[in-house]
Structure 1
Amino acid sequence: MTYYDYIVIGAGSAGCVVANRLTEDPDTTVLLLEAGNPDTKPEIHIPLDCTTLLGTEVDWGYFSQLEPYLNNHQIFCLGGKVLGGSSSMAR
């Protein structure tokens, strides 16, 4: 069985930075977990195409609660399910 000193959940911008900083000590072991796949979809690398990724396998599909000051509409909240997280999708 393998043991780690730290487990970082999410390989978005923050998760990758935290994992990198933790591994500056060569005696520290870190497991970085990401639910998504690498950012290989061509649309991810074209800034204007990021809206075509909404609701696909690289997006968590999060919505806000009903917003009373917006006539009870919900707001779509981008959540990248891919290496790099939302930063990969909204460059």
Structure 2
Amino acid sequence: MSFDYIIVGAGSAGCVLANRLTEDSDRTVLLIEAGGEPDPRLAHIPGAASWMQNSRADWAFSTTHQRELFDRRIAYPRGRVVGGSSILNYMVYIRGNSGDYDQ
């Protein structure tokens, strides 16, 4: 089997890109995700992101030791499910200042 495009990662960007590419019915797209579907009981609850960190939905990355933080390592949650890291961000978003965009 062959594809015109292969997208690795079914996070927010990967899913949107796959959808856009398939708007042309002549194109074939393979979307690959290492994880599966997120836990439906937790994925739609804003505060539940903490329960999904360090689970099968998270790659469980952390930074290297940070000298300025007393040699601590900081958790760096990255999603390993359909929806990607958006599943782990507590459903928080910040709107940019319209003045910044106007300039």
> Is the pair's TM-score, using the shorter chain for normalization, greater than 0.5?
yes
Aligned residue pairs, count: 90
Alignment match, 1:49:
48
SS of alignment partner, residue 43 of structure 1: coil
Alignment match, 2:7:
8
Separation in 2 of the partners of 1:16 and 1:49?
Answer: 23
CA RMSD of aligned residues (A): 1.1
Residue 3 of structure 1 deviates from its aligned partner by 0.2
1:50-69 mapped onto 2 (5 Å cutoff): 50-69=49-68
Alignment match, 1:28:
27
Alignment match, 1:84:
83
What stretches of structure 1 move > 6 A for 4+ residues in a row? none
Residue 45 of structure 1 deviates from its aligned partner by 1.5
SS of alignment partner, residue 43 of structure 2: helix
Residue 15 of structure 1 deviates from its aligned partner by 0.5
- The range that moved more, 6-15 or 48-57, is 48-57
Equivalent AA in structure 2 for residue 3 of structure 1: S
Alignment match, 1:73:
72
Unaligned runs of 5+ in 1: none
Larger radius of gyration: 2
Equivalent AA in structure 2 for residue 19 of structure 1: A
Separation in 2 of the partners of 1:59 and 1:41?
Answer: 15
State the TM-score, normalizing by the size of structure 2: 0.81
Q: Deviations over 1:24-71 (max 9, x none)?
A: 211110000001111234122211121111111111100011111111
